Amino acid sequence: MASILLFLSLLALIGAWWLSRQGLASKPWLEQGATAALPPADDTPTPASKVALWILLAVIGSFFALFISAYSMRMQLPDWRAVPVPTILWLNTGMLALSSVALHGARNAARRGEMTDLRWGLVAAGVAALAFLSGQLVAWQQLTGEGYRLAANPASDFFYVLTGLHGLHLLGGLVWLGGTIQKAWRTSDTGSLRLPVDLCATYWHFLLFVWLIVLSILTGWAGEFIDICRQILT
């Protein structure tokens, strides 16, 4: 359960830092009047949806951290046989990165107010993400073809489950992205698109990050890395 505890400690640190700025040691019964305790008027308060997205990312993060915990516990049992990583995963990783970069471009375009760049950035991101998903399906097919079926071995079970759940999260993001693209084609006002595109970009970067972690675990690099750390420590 190390990875989930690590992840939650990170969240706890962020939470503690945030709480430390909320005056938890103040004595509220001594403060009267609204203004005494009001923060200085903020011109641009963080939009609620942005806060919600970050919390959602924490939830999804703990979801994957738990899976990784389960993976590392199951991996130590003797019947584990590592699965060869299909080469197409590297291409897929490139596609997902490309998708993330395109969205980042769209986000910048929205800030600069360039509608054309914004539209094409969104579309490119969508296409690259779809390419990633189809690539993942091809990877599944290849593995099945090589005999690494579901239920053949826990390592392959985890391969399908982890890639599948990551794909589902991306699919959910694509629905959202689809809505944004539709909106981008209907309006010419980039201002109204800034927030949704921003949220998409954050979500995409996060999923790319999760994918890199998952990939490092499926390839066994994470395990090697941890072993090296252990050797240095001992």
Partner 1 sequence: MVDVPLGPGGVVAPTDIDDVELYHPHSWVTKYVFAQDAKVIAIQYALVALSVGLIALVLSWLMRLQLGFPGVFAFIDANAYYQFITMHGMMMVVYVLTALFLGGFGNYLIPLMVGARDMVFPYVNMLSFWVYLLAVLVLVASFFAPGGPTGAGWTLYPPQAILSGTPGGQEWGIILMLASLMIFIIGFTMGGLNYVVTVLQARARGMTLMRMPLTVWGIFTASFMALLAFPALFVGAVMMLFDRIFGTSFFMPAIVEMGQPLDRSGGSPLLFQHLFWFFGHPEVYIVALPAFGIVSDLISTHARRNIFGYRMMVWALLAIGALSFVVWAHHMYVSGMNPYFGFFFATTTLIIAIPTAIKVYNWILTLWRGNIHLNVPMLFALAFIVTFVNGGLTGLFLGNVVVDVPLSDTMFVVAHFHMVMGVAPILVIFGAIYHWYPKVTGRMLNDTLGKIHFWVTFLGAYLIFFPMHYLGLMGIPRRYHDIADMSFVPQSAHTLNAFITIVALFVGAIQMIFVFNLFWSLRHGRPSGGNPWRATTLEWQTPETPPPHGNWGKEVPVVYRWAYDYSVPGADQDFLPQNQPGTARTAAGPAHG
> Per rule CB under 8 A, is residue 111 in the interface with partner 1?
no
Which residues 126-165 are close enough to bind partner 1 by CB under 8 A? 150-151, 154, 157, 161, 165
Q: Which CB sits closer to partner 1, 3 or 100?
A: 3
Q: Whole-number minimum distance, CB 82 to partner 1, in Å?
A: 14
Among 45, 113, 145, 191, indicate the residue that binds partner 1 (CB under 8 A).
45
Among 2, 52, 212, 226, indicate the residue that binds partner 1 (CB under 8 A).
52
Q: Which CB sits closer to partner 1, 87 or 187?
A: 187
The closest of 211, 209, 204, 208 to 103, measured between CA atoms, is: 204
Among 66, 88, 91, 138, indicate the residue that binds partner 1 (CB under 8 A).
66
- Residues with Cβ within 8 Å of residue 95, at least 6 apart in sequence: 128, 129, 131, 132, 135
Residues in the interface with partner 1 (CB under 8 A) total 63
Residue 47: φ, ψ to 5° = -65, 145
Q: Whole-number minimum distance, CB 167 to partner 1, in Å?
A: 14
Contact between 181 and 103 under an 8 Å Cβ cutoff? The reply is no
Q: Let me know if 64 is exposed, middle or buried by CB neighbors in 10 A (0-12, 13-18, 19+).
A: buried
Q: Let me know if 119 is exposed, middle or buried by CB neighbors in 10 A (0-12, 13-18, 19+).
A: middle
Contact between 118 and 109 under an 8 Å Cβ cutoff? The reply is yes
Residues that bind partner 1 (CB under 8 A): 1, 4-5, 8, 11-12, 19, 22-35, 37-38, 45-53, 55-56, 58-59, 62-63, 66-67, 70, 73-74, 77-80, 150-151, 154, 157, 161, 165, 176, 179-180, 183, 192, 195-196, 198-200
